[in-house]
Structure 1
Amino acid sequence: MVRRRTAILMTVLLTGLGVLAPSTAATAAESNGGTRILVLGDSITDGFNVPGGYRINLWRSLASAGHLVDFVGTGSNGPADLPDHDHEGHNGWRVDQIDAIAAGVLRDTSPRSILLHIGTNDVVQNYDMANAPARLSALVDHIRAAAPNADLFVSSIIPLSDPARESRAAAYNATIPAMVASKGSQVHYVDMHSALTTADLADGVHPTRGGYDKMAARWASALASVPGSAGTDGAGVTIPTGLRSVRVTTPGYTDRYARHQNSVGFTEHVDSGSSALLKADATWRVVPGLAGGCYSLESRNFPGYYLRHQNGRVRISTDDGSALTRSDATWCARSAPAGVRLSAWSYPGSYLRHVNSELWLATPGGSGPQDTAASLVADLGWSVDAPWAP
């Protein structure tokens, strides 16, 4: 009896440290019928210290981009406002332990995409570090064999506060990009180490909530860079062509319209008493997309000039016939909770948004100030209305 109680106590303690103990049995899985994403790894994937971890803001970022996703795995945790709690994060597990279950998990979950962050416990335990890169390479091979049609995102591990551990982590991380590059086009490297600093750690190993949010942003950017890896960015919808005005649907700002001024895109309040110039600047001719599909928005009072994104900012410019201009001036209408989203033809998963009265191209989970504001989801919605200047 004493021996059994001691073993139970040790299991609890080691699980709390996130170093040795395996995860417990799974609860019933949740499913919303979306694109299946397996988040795979150790206690950092589980969300030690912050239940749900990076999965909280990753879900929100993907949802705000219009993606319907289904996290899968045999574990389940996180806050009530996280719609999907499933994951495959195992407290204290090393690369070899994840490898031992990978084929079975992949068979049972059939993911479209896999997010892999593993190796921290190899470093923390100083477990045969000379062969850790080979173990990771073998794990990637086994995942690819079990899920040949999935996109696999392999990240470097996040920083560690202890200098000796961080030195081992740096050596391990340095081997990952070349290994990933050798595995084919469906394996993608994610630099997670640079996304955080040791100031983002709660205990020298596991992130704070802010650190997990940084991880979420890096994962979201990685998924956005591979079209289809998180599913489609909302259903395609048809919008009316001809002269139209494009209205903001953000609550409290629904009297504002997309306009151009000195060739740059803004939003501005427009009503029946507005000047003729403002009404004209807030009117667009919706035409077939210059890139060969979807739509382009031609200025009503500057024919031949089209709404386009350039270095993130949205402006109007003339159609010079180049493939770059034509793709940057083409927008695809996607369903949104309010109105439609206008997705960039050349950057699927990036959208026309307004922020501080300016028009920008925004990527949910991206690194720019236009990407991460709390109001991002609402500010991506537009209504294609009757024109102010027929």
Structure 2
Amino acid sequence: MTLRVLSLLIICICIAPLAVQADAAVKVMPLGDSITRGGSWTTSPYPSYRYYLDESLRASGYSLDFVGSTSTAFTKFAFDQNHEGHGGYTTGMMVGTPSFSPLAAWLASSPAPDIVLLHVGTNDALEGIPLATRIANMKKIVSILRQKNPGVRVLMAQIIPTGDAGLNSKGLLLDFNRALPSIAAGLSTPTSPVAVVDLFTGYDGVADNQPDGIHPKTSGERKMAGAWHRALAPVLSRMSPGPGTTVPTVRPTVTRTTQAVPSLSVRKVPGVLEAEDYDPGGAGVSYRDTTPGNSGGAYRQDDVDIEVQGGTTNLAFVRDGEWLQYTVAVSSVGRYRADFRVSSWGSSSHSIAVSVNGKDAATVSVPTTGGPGAWTTASTTLPLPSGTAVLRFRFSGDGQNLDRVTFSAVAGSATVKPTTTAPTVTRTTQAVPSQTGSAVPLPGTIQSEDYNPGGEGVSYHDTTPGNQAGAYRGDGVDIVYAPAIRSYVVTQIRSGEWLEYTVTIPEERYYQLAFRLASQSGGQFFDMKVDGRSEVMVMAPRTWSMETYSSISTQIRLAKGTHRVRIQFHGDGLNFDSFRFT
């Protein structure tokens, strides 16, 4: 009750008229994490609250325009789909660093919003970010928004609960919500009001959320839309034609596309096995899942639950008795270490039983980490035969996520024969490789070192003279041969550097995009621009070593034809191997 009363008081105090032409559509920016974005796959049944809010406001006669640097073309829903919902983002990730702010970059690629609907903080609760840090970040977010529009109105949500009452309390979600009214009161000005909107009260974290207990299902999306509508209506009535005024409503044309199952090949051992790359074949053949449909809405369209969190695609919402099957190519007979990147929560004990070619091989005990985004590594060793092997992972205990499994040979037990030998490179005579400037056909993998020819300022920008590592090409980009992955990589990357590639796309559709990289510290950003427009921004995960490579995934919609792709780096300390479109 206290939360709601304070919220209403602040809304009443802070909302003032805005000078907008009577016939102009008010620009509204939905800003937040995956709860704002909705399902991560275009065929997801969960388009976020934005669909229901757009529908209800237009039905009431209000004129508005959702704005943002990104959009999700949900094929089952026709509405204005521009937004700034970025899966996995905490308040701190949104703010960024003194040298680079993702939020500022998004705003630079978007029309200036008149109103911002800010719902952020769930990932902070999952990761246990200190309350004082969250409060400081919220103030910085408002400051960055005002740099884009000094008169912006910010509606700041008391965020929806998760399905875990303990997490809501121990993760300081409740304390965060209680702190927002005083934050808003301190930030609000006559020209740029800040109001609190109560989305928490009346929302059931169990009944209104999907099985993960975090993301809204339809009932939750409708409740969020209702709360936003009640807060927006009095503002919009002062800023745009209200109910009773004829307002032309343009519905976007929606093209329904069919998403194919990703192209999956046999994975090599030693190497990294992504959890979502299980074999094709379907239920009972390549997997067993106890709930219908893909609750996470990402990557594949069968019954296995896959989500994208923090830019990482992972197996999610795993329940007791479910299993997945993978076909791998083992380089040599011997024992291999298997490092499972996992998270788990709840009161159940958790484990993963591994079988090889139908025979039990090992059981991995999965520690309770406290939440879906609290990752750790659980390890075991496996005897593996040379050649093709079929692995099956059987899960015990509800409430697990699996990101990937990294296989490495146990010293002295397996002889791994490299399939590629690093060539001897003479820096002064090294010719540019067979990069003729022709477009790379996609889907497919682009090696980082195969950027366009053209030179400094044309096909790349590098802040240090010469190729410091001396491999592969003889220009100013630093390239080294990485024996651990038997590949050349762009190395010693510094903030502000960029690489450019030319690609050709056979058809307009969404593509899964995975960057393969190494970062000892993590936290750097990739900004992918297509034909000069920023389309994708991801944050590099921490791999703990410059020789340990991991993939970070997202989605991108590309139009048919030839495109110029530029990858710009923000932050020092990256090795970049490749990026893959499927």
Give the TM-score, by structure 1 length.
Answer: 0.50
Q: Which has the higher strand share?
A: 2
**Bigger relative contact order, structure 1 or 2 (CA pairs below 8 A, ≥6 apart):** 1
From the two aligned structures, give the one with the greater helix fraction: 1
